[in-house]
Structure 1
Amino acid sequence: MSDDFTRPVLTPPGGHKKVLLHSCCAPCSGEVMEAMTASGIDYTIFFYNPNIHPEKEYLLRKDENIRFAEAHDVPFVDCDYDTENWYARAKGMEWEPERGIRCTMCFDMRFERTALYAHEHGFPVMTSSLGISRWKDMKQINGCGERAVAPYDGLEYWDYNWRKGGGSNRMIEISKREEFYQQEYCGCVYSLRDTNRHRREVGRGPIEIGKMFYGSEPASDE
């Protein structure tokens, strides 16, 4: 992994060195992965994101994450794409705004599954790459993480601010270096709908899934 930046040594809660990292995509997890590797943390990626729509977009994001993990010998857990469960939990929240209660439900659902896996497989700490994006509400994400670990004795949620110290900028740099697929909306069918509506309002065409890659166009960190 990149060694052109000297990162501070990170210490997970309790001084543990074994961490389960919930990853939403390769661009968001790239910097988190490199930071943990630089600190000698033994981590495994847990990919559970049934919110991502359509399946083509889901597979693009997952495959990019797998590619980066395999290149650096990082274990990758490919979890279920149980979209029916996600839609059932989102019922009645279809018109909620980004960062609202639908997003809280979505984070809760993904973190609950992550926490269960961590508990069942002996991970003392779990964390997530979700908060590195400036489009996300870190307080909202951390609250969901804390709720997810609460039922399990000996499991802690690591609420480290991955944005600080230039983390968000390095996220973009790594994405360009690796030429990651660049998603143009948060992930779910409702964020795709709302993003396309906004694009129409400003005179832009709809999102073309599978077309954008970091380094080819001005990058955003959605």
Structure 2
Amino acid sequence: MIDLHEILDKMNPNQKINYDKILQKMVANWQRNANRPSILLHSCCAPCSTYTLEYLTQYADVTVYYANSNIHPRAEYQRREYVQQKFISDFNQRTGNNVQFIAAPYEPQEYFLAVRGLEKEPEGGQRCRACFSYRLDLVAAKAVELGFDYFGSALTISPHKNSQVVNSVGIEVQNFYNTMYLPSDFKKNNGYRRSVEMCREYDVYRQCYCGCIFAAKAQGIDLSKTRREALAYLKGKDAAKEFADIKFVYQEKENQTLK
């Protein structure tokens, strides 16, 4: 497996990094060495995972980690979690892949602690960076616990997320864990356009705000209405029964995450 630092250390520290090209180099290396690595991929929602999974599953075994305690309200978190699982199940059935799914506990107070003092930051500012760090830290820790080769995020498919920031956070997080970060810029190569197409093909719900209460209020989102709509959508649905086929089954290992 390739450590991202092996590539970055050879680059001019002042140049803007093309993380898509770095990922392509890593993929080419996997193919030359007949490696098919395992990736624990953070995903905030089904739309972000669409093209990302279509691309990565050509070269790696992928498990989606839904770790998004930033999403408010709880019912909206649950709706996005359900839709994420439905997409994975449908994607597997259509493509013959075996993408699996893990959900982190919903702990919104942990998120609020992570962004304390940054509540009034604009969208895309320091609050978002703190949120990325909070979630990618969870993904890295889980990747170590479960023995994945890489951890990464589907966030870079969004045109509303700065891939330079997401990747720099991922690199920082890697330094604290015995695992490797997977660089990406999934919006490149028409990735975002393909994600929109796949949402239509799979009839995937696309939300109108990133998830956090601060961004929702700044956009004037009616969160009471969002909650009602989410609860109505979830009525009669049981993800545990409907999507048992994608649940990641593992044995707990001794968690030694810090280097």
TM tier, smaller: 0.7 to 0.9
Amino acid at match of 1:162: F
Instruction: Find the partner of 1:104 among 129, 133, 148.
Output: 129
Shift of 1:196: 0.6
Amino acid at match of 2:82: D
* Cα contact 1:23–1:45 (8 A) shared by 2: yes
Of the candidates 168, 172, 179, which is equivalent to residue 147 of structure 1?
A: 172
Q: Any conservation in 2 of the 1:23–1:128 contact (CA below 8 Å)?
A: yes
Q: Choose which of 182, 185, 189 in structure 1 pairs with 2:209.
A: 185
| Distance 1:13-1:60 versus aligned 2 partners, 3 A rule | farther
Deviations 1:80-137 (A, max 9, x none): 1111111122221111101111111100000001000101111121111101010111
Which residue among 73, 76, 83 is the counterpart of 1:57? Answer: 76
Pairing 1:1-222 to 2, within 5 Å after superposition: 11-12=26-27, 15=30, 17-37=37-57, 39-71=58-90, 72=92, 73-153=98-178, 155-196=179-220, 206=222, 208-209=225-226, 210=229
Distance 1:13 1:114, change over 3 A: farther
Once residues 131 and 150 of structure 2 are traced to their aligned partners in structure 1, the CA distance between those partners, rounded to angstroms, is 20
Q: Is the 8 A contact 1:44 1:77 kept in 2?
A: yes
How big is the alpha-carbon RMSD for the aligned residues of Structure 1 and Structure 2?
A: 2.1
**Structure 1 residue runs of 4 or more that deviate by more than 3 Å after TM superposition:** 9-14
Q: How far is 1:24 from its partner?
A: 0.7
Per-residue CA deviation, residues 47-80 of structure 1 (Å, 9 max, x unaligned), is 1000000011111111110111223142100111
Q: Which moved more, 1:48-57 or 1:157-166?
A: 157-166
Deviation at 1:175, TM superposition (A): 0.7
Gaps (5+ residues) in structure 1? 1-8, 198-205, 214-222
Percent sequence identity is: 31
Shift of 1:13: 8.9
Is contact 1:13–1:156 with CA below 8 Å preserved after alignment? Answer: no
Q: Give the TM-score normalised by structure 2.
A: 0.70
Q: Which runs of 5+ in 2 are unaligned?
A: 1-22, 93-97, 234-259
Tell me the CA shift for residue 150 of structure 1: 1.1
Larger radius of gyration between Structure 1 and Structure 2: 2
Check the 8 A contact 1:18/1:125 in 2, yes or no: yes
TM-score (norm. length: structure 1): 0.81
Query: SS at 2:169's partner residue?
Result: helix
Shift of 1:180: 1.1
Count of residues in Structure 1 that have an aligned counterpart in Structure 2: 194
